[in-house]
Amino acid sequence: MPTITIDGRKIETQPGKTIIEAALENGIAIPHFCWHPALSVAGNCRMCLVRVGSYKKGADGTLERDAEGNPVVQWMPKLQIACATPVADGMVVDTVGEKTIAAQNAVMEFLLINHPLDCPICDEAGQCKLQEYAFKHSRGESRFVEEKVHKPKRVAWSDRIIFDGERCILCSRCIRFANEIAKQPVLTFVERNDHVTIELFEGTTFDSPYSMNVIELCPVGALTSADFRFKSRVWEMSFTPSVCPGCARGCNINIGVRDNQILRLEPRPNPHVNQYWMCDAGRLEQYRWVNSGRISGAAVRRNGALAPASFEEAFRAVADLLSTARGDAMMVLSGSITNEDGFVARECAAAFGIEHVAFVERNDPTFGDDFLRSSDRNANATGLRALGIPSTTWKELLQRMHERMPAVIYFIGADPFAEQDSSSWEELLGSGGAIIAQLSNHSQLEEIADVVLPAATYAEIEGTFTNCDGWVQYLQPAVETAETLRRINGMAQSRLDEFGAPNDRWTHGERRLCRPHWQLLTGVAGAAGHSIAYRSAAEVFAAIEDRVEAFRAMNYEALRQYRGIRLGRGNDPEPVGVVYRSHYMKPQSD
Amino acid sequence: MNVTTNTRAQRMTFWEKLYLPEIAKGLALTFKTMFKPKLTRQYPEERWEPLGSYRGRPVLVLEEDGERCVACGLCSRVCPALAIEVQAGETEREKERYPVKFEINMLRCIYCGLCEEVCPEEAIVMSKDYDIVFHSQEEAIFGKDKLLVPIARLQERLEFLRQYK
Please state the domain extents for chain B: 58-164
Q: Is A121 on the interface with B (CB under 8 A)?
A: yes
What residues make up the domain containing A67? 3-109
Q: Is A120 on the interface with B (CB under 8 A)?
A: yes
Residues A279 and A178 in one domain: yes
Residues A369 and A447 in one domain: yes
Residue A363 within any structural domain of the chain: yes
pLDDT in tens, chain A (590 residues): 899 999 999 999 999 999 999 998 888 889 999 999 999 999 999 999 999 999 998 888 888 888 888 889 999 999 999 999 999 999 999 999 999 999 999 999 999 999 999 999 999 999 999 999 998 888 888 899 999 999 999 999 999 999 999 999 999 999 999 999 999 999 999 999 899 999 999 999 999 999 999 999 999 999 999 999 999 999 999 999 999 999 999 999 999 999 999 999 999 999 999 999 999 999 999 999 999 999 999 999 999 899 999 999 999 999 999 999 988 999 999 999 999 999 999 999 999 999 999 999 999 999 999 999 999 999 999 999 999 999 999 989 988 888 888 999 999 999 988 876 677 777 777 677 899 999 999 999 998 899 999 999 999 999 999 999 999 999 999 999 999 988 888 899 988 888 887 778 777 788 999 999 999 999 999 999 998 989 999 999 999 999 999 999 999 999 999 999 999 999 999 998 888 888 864 444 34
pLDDT of residue B1: 58
> Out of A154, A229, A233, whose CB is closest to B73?
A233
pLDDT of residue A140: 80
Chain A: nearest CA to B128, how far in angstroms? Answer: 26
Residue A502 within any structural domain of the chain: no
Chain B: nearest CA to A164, how far in angstroms? Answer: 11
Q: Which amino acid is at A588?
A: Q
How far apart (Å, rounded) are the C-alpha atoms in residues A234 and A587?
8
Residue A491 within any structural domain of the chain: no
CB burial string A191-229: b at 16+ within 10 A, e below: eeeeeebbbbeeeebbbbbbbbbbbbbbbbbbbbbbbbe
Residues A306 and A280 in one domain: no
First-to-final CA distance of chain A? 32
Tell me the per-residue pLDDT of B101-141, one tens digit each, with 9 for 90 and over.
Answer: 999 999 999 999 999 999 999 999 999 999 999 999 899 99
Yes or no, beta carbons of A121 and B73 under 8 Å apart = no
Higher pLDDT, B13 or A587: B13
Is the pLDDT assigned to residue B71 strictly greater than 70? yes
Residue A268 within any structural domain of the chain: yes
Q: What's the CATH code of the domain at A281?
A: 3.30.70.20
Q: What's the CATH code of the domain at A42?
A: 3.10.20.740
DSSP state of A451: E
Q: Under a CB-based contact definition with an 8 Å cutoff, are residues B83 and B137 in contact?
A: no
Query: Which of the listed residues A433, A458, A483 is the one where a domain comes to its end?
Result: A458
Residues A185 and A269 in one domain: yes
Residues A306 and A348 in one domain: yes
Q: Is A503 on the interface with B (CB under 8 A)?
A: yes
Residues A447 and A374 in one domain: yes
How far apart (Å, rounded) are the C-alpha atoms in residues A75 and A92?
8
The residues, any chain, with a CB within 8 Å of residue A182's CB and separated by 6 or more, are A206, A208, A209, A210, A211, A213
Residues A161 and A74 in one domain: no
Number of domains making up chain A: 3
Query: Which of the listed residues A441, A458, A475 is the one where a domain comes to its end?
Result: A458
Residues of B in contact with A504 (CB under 8 A): 82, 85, 105
| Angle at which helices A422-430 and A394-403 cross, to 10° | 30
Residues of A in contact with B89 (CB under 8 A): 230
How far apart (Å, rounded) are the C-alpha atoms in residues A486 and A139?
41
Interface mutation vs chain B, best among A121, A166, A259, A506, most B CBs within 10 Å: A121
Residues A133 and A276 in one domain: yes
Q: Is A500 on the interface with B (CB under 8 A)?
A: yes
Residues A254 and A305 in one domain: no
Residue A583 within any structural domain of the chain: no
Yes or no, beta carbons of A505 and B97 under 8 Å apart = no
Chain B: nearest CA to A132, how far in angstroms? Answer: 17
Q: Is A150 on the interface with B (CB under 8 A)?
A: no
pLDDT of residue A589: 39
Yes or no, beta carbons of A154 and B96 under 8 Å apart = yes
List Cα–Cα distances, A210 to A178, A183, A281, A282, in angstroms: 9, 9, 8, 10
Q: Which amino acid is at A194?
A: D
Yes or no, beta carbons of B88 and A505 under 8 Å apart = no
Residues A21 and A158 in one domain: no
Residues A152 and A212 in one domain: yes
Residue A76 within any structural domain of the chain: yes
Quote the pTM value.
0.90
Chain B: nearest CA to A195, how far in angstroms? Answer: 21
Interface mutation vs chain A, best among B67, B68, B76, most A CBs within 10 Å: B76
CATH number of the structural domain B58-164: 3.30.70.3270
pLDDT of residue B18: 87
> Out of A230, A499, A506, whose CB is closest to B85?
A506
- Tell me phi and psi for residue A109, to 5 degrees: -65, -40
Residues A266 and A334 in one domain: no
Interface mutation vs chain A, best among B67, B68, B72, most A CBs within 10 Å: B72
Residue A393 within any structural domain of the chain: yes
State the ipTM, two decimals.
0.86
Say whether B101 sits in a helix, a strand or coil.
strand
Sign of the C-alpha dihedral computed for residues A6, A11, A12 and A14 taken in this order: negative
pLDDT of residue A27: 85
Yes or no, beta carbons of A496 and B72 under 8 Å apart = no
Residue A192 within any structural domain of the chain: yes
101-130 in chain B: CB under 8 A from chain A: 103, 105, 107, 120-121
pLDDT of residue A432: 73
Interface contacts A/B by beta carbons within 8 Å: 49
List Cα–Cα distances, A442 to A296, A412, A426, A447, B6, in angstroms: 9, 14, 16, 10, 84
